[in-house]
Amino acid sequence: MLDLSLLRDSGTFSIDGGSPRLALVHHGFRTTQLGATDKRQDKYAARYASLGLLNLARSAQVDFERGRIPFQPEIQYFDEDNFTDDVELAKAISDWLRPSKARFVLVSLYSLAFERTKNMLSNLNPEEVCIMVGGAHPTVAPEIDFVHLVARGEGGNALRHVLRLFLHPEFGMGNEARGLCFMLDGKVQMGEVVFDKSLEDIPSPAFSYELIQNDTSFAGQSRERWWKAVGESQQIYICTQSCRARCTFCSTYLIHGKLVSRPVELIAGDIEHLLTFGHDSIQFHDDDLLQHENLHELLDLLLEFNIAWTCNARSEVITPALARRMYDAGCKKVFLGVESLDQRSLNYYNKATTVEMNINAVNALNSSGIGVICGYIIGAPHDTVESILADLDRVLALPIYFLATAILTPDIGTVEYRRALRRIPLLQELGNDGTKMNIRPRPEIFGTSAPYGLPTVAEAISKEELNELYALINCEFFLRKEYINRVIKYTSNDRLNEALSWCSLQKLKAEELAESATLASVQERTVQLLQKIDADYPYYGVLSEFAEAR
């Protein structure tokens, strides 16, 4: 980490020089797993604000109102998508910060974008600007050499401590500082992961949405992927924190701890605030909206507002009655964490669900009129080519609107990472000299194909073969007769051409896969798929005509 003495001794930085300026920087969303695999897929990526940063901004505002910090901070939100490149972004940040002596840059650091964000921040003067990072990656790997401060877990208390006592003799002491990591005069203080329950009581609105309304390139709106989009003017929101589940591939509970639910009356104030900006729909980004402790009250509230919404959920709680009630309350699409229709895989992932639960949940949601998006994972240690193809056939039999496939990733800090570390000695190279606290993806060792910069863990299938299977799954799922009706039913008029473009890309990929596949079964199925499309159905012609008619 950068030594805080750089700021203390520079003569150009002072926390006592009046209102501090906080530059909230949303960086790294241009770096996606899809894009790393195939740049043609970048245009389908989501674009939305960082709720973590907007919540920190709101927390700082409330702290000043309650007298917890001495100065009201000036806050500006910077999104990389509003700038040509990172040099221009860094210059805009520096120019805005310059009038203040207390200059802070707050960034959510993503594993995939680690090197990109490092390079962007290198354009800032570390003697004039205090760089503070947080998020999932810094929480599990906080030794980061290009920043002054790291917040582990939620950062509300840590930021309050910084704005009260930065560079004072008491800095780094007390309960509020527990989550902070920093170096001062060569001495490192390594904080612990701290969980924050402020979502339960922070007054409405919970997020400073007003900071993104001047986003001229985007008008403050989320741009969700075509298959998850609802409404014409949508915005993201969360009202629960963490997840009650403990899936082995997920890190959310490492950062957020136990489940926290926002009271329904405060959610009502948040939604009213969103509506003032002209939004007509909500994308709940909760890990599982249905875990809210007062779910039925929440559904009653959403029914009163009469707005469209989408959410993430787990299959074990979905019943036909609940699905119908969700639909009546405005739910249009649900991302369901199915992951597999193989019980051995579900057990390995610690999903605490069964194949029957998954099938019943998909059917219940689809029957109610809700588009079902399924998360689907391949590449468990026990997987074989044959077992994955058999599982794919089971998936193809279900009425799923979109299949979001992923190759099992041993994400840093997760159970999967610890499992992989025992079996793959080369994983030690992710950190310097085997250090666990500064690990990051290493594409120069493990390559850029999914999972980016990390190894796969399947014992009988190579990383290259898993990527072939991943491509086949997408091609077989999206290039089917029966898929047409689902695209038409659940895709909004303004996004249908984008959906067709996605399908066209999958056909192009199928043609490429037929030539490049090394697995005989993948090549055989791909060739059969292309023959079926050409012989049995004018797939794209029918869809294109329909799109024009709409």
pLDDT digits (tens, 9 = 90+) for 490-534: 998 888 888 988 988 999 999 999 999 999 999 999 999 999 888
Q: Residue 475: pLDDT band by 50, 70, 90 thresholds?
A: very high
Mean pLDDT, to the nearest integer, of 362-386?
Answer: 97
**pLDDT, tens only, 148-197:** 999 998 889 999 999 999 999 999 999 999 999 999 999 999 999 998 88
Cα-flanking dihedrals φ and ψ of residue 382, to 5°?
-85, -5
Q: Rg for the chain (alpha carbons), in Å?
A: 24
Q: Residue 443: pLDDT band by 50, 70, 90 thresholds?
A: confident
Q: Residue 20: pLDDT band by 50, 70, 90 thresholds?
A: very high
Q: With left for phi above 0 and alpha for psi between -120 and 50, is residue 276 left, alpha or beta?
A: alpha
Choosing from 198, 213, 248, the residue where a domain stops is 198
- Whether residues 194 and 326 fall in one domain: no
Structure tokens at 330: 């405005």
CA 338 centroid distance within chain: 17
Structure tokens at 199: 């979502």
- Whether residues 59 and 170 fall in one domain: yes
Which residues, in sequence order, are bridge partners of residue 22? 75, 104
Structure tokens at 250: 């997920």
- Whether residues 9 and 65 fall in one domain: yes
pLDDT value of residue 504: 87
Mean pLDDT, to the nearest integer, of 3-15?
Answer: 94
Q: Specify the CATH number for the domain of residue 279.
A: 3.20.20.70
Residue 545, domain member (yes or no)? yes
Per-residue pLDDT for 218 more than 90?
no
- Whether residues 55 and 190 fall in one domain: yes
Structure tokens at 21: 């300026």
- Residue type at position 96: W
Q: Residue 455: pLDDT band by 50, 70, 90 thresholds?
A: very high
pLDDT value of residue 44: 80
pLDDT value of residue 436: 62
Mean pLDDT, to the nearest integer, of 107-119?
Answer: 90
Q: From CA 483, how far away is CA 490, in angstroms rounded?
A: 11
Q: From CA 506, how far away is CA 503, in angstroms rounded?
A: 5
List the one residue out of 129, 132, 92, 146 whose CA is nearest residue 10.
129
pLDDT value of residue 408: 95
**pLDDT, tens only, 233-259:** 889 999 999 888 899 998 888 778 889
Per-residue pLDDT for 216 more than 60?
no
Helix (H) or strand (E) holding 119: helix 114-121
Residue ranges making up the domain that contains 535: 462-549
Choosing from 165, 183, 198, the residue where a domain stops is 198
- Whether residues 180 and 227 fall in one domain: no
Mean pLDDT, to the nearest integer, of 461-484?
Answer: 93
CB atoms < 10 A from the CB of 235, how many?
A: 25
Please, which residues have CB within 8 angstroms of residue 102's CB and are 6 or more apart in sequence? 13, 14, 15, 16, 17, 18, 19, 20, 21, 71, 166
Q: Among 24-38, 130-144, 195-209, 213-227, which is the least confidently predicted range?
A: 213-227
- Whether residues 276 and 395 fall in one domain: yes
pLDDT value of residue 519: 97
Residue 514, domain member (yes or no)? yes
Residue bearing the bigger pLDDT, 541 or 421: 421
pLDDT value of residue 34: 56
Residue 440, domain member (yes or no)? no
pLDDT value of residue 96: 97
pLDDT value of residue 516: 96
Residue 217, domain member (yes or no)? no
Residue 445, domain member (yes or no)? no
Q: Round the average pLDDT of the chain to a whole number and report it.
A: 90
Choosing from 198, 215, 237, the residue where a domain stops is 198
Distances (CA, A) of 227 to 81, 401, 503: 21, 8, 12
- Whether residues 187 and 336 fall in one domain: no
Q: For the purposes of burial, counting CB atoms within 10 Å of the CB of 66, is it exposed (0-12), middle (13-18) or buried (19 or more)? A: exposed
- Residue type at position 467: N
**pLDDT, tens only, 25-78:** 999 876 655 555 677 877 787 778 899 999 999 999 999 999 999 999 999 999
Q: Specify the CATH number for the domain of residue 110.
A: 3.40.50
- Whether residues 356 and 489 fall in one domain: no
Q: Could you give the percent of the chain with pLDDT greater than 70?
A: 93
Q: What is the DSSP letter of 3?
A: B
The length of the chain, given as a count of residues: 550
pLDDT value of residue 509: 94
Q: 287 near 252, Cβ under 8 Å? A: yes
The domain total for the chain is: 3
Please, which residues have CB within 8 angstroms of residue 238's CB and are 6 or more apart in sequence? 51, 199, 284, 285, 286
pLDDT value of residue 267: 98
Q: Among 273-287, 394-408, 422-436, which is the least confidently predicted range?
A: 422-436
Q: Residue 219: pLDDT band by 50, 70, 90 thresholds?
A: very low
- Whether residues 192 and 276 fall in one domain: no
- Whether residues 281 and 351 fall in one domain: yes
- Whether residues 387 and 267 fall in one domain: yes
pLDDT value of residue 536: 62
pLDDT value of residue 546: 43
pLDDT value of residue 470: 96
Residue 146, domain member (yes or no)? yes
Please, which residues have CB within 8 angstroms of residue 265's CB and are 6 or more apart in sequence? none
Residue 489, domain member (yes or no)? yes
Residue bearing the bigger pLDDT, 501 or 437: 501
The top-scoring range by mean pLDDT among 137-146, 228-237, 517-526 is: 517-526
- Whether residues 178 and 90 fall in one domain: yes
pTM for this one? 0.91
Residue 193, domain member (yes or no)? yes
Per-residue pLDDT for 217 more than 50?
no
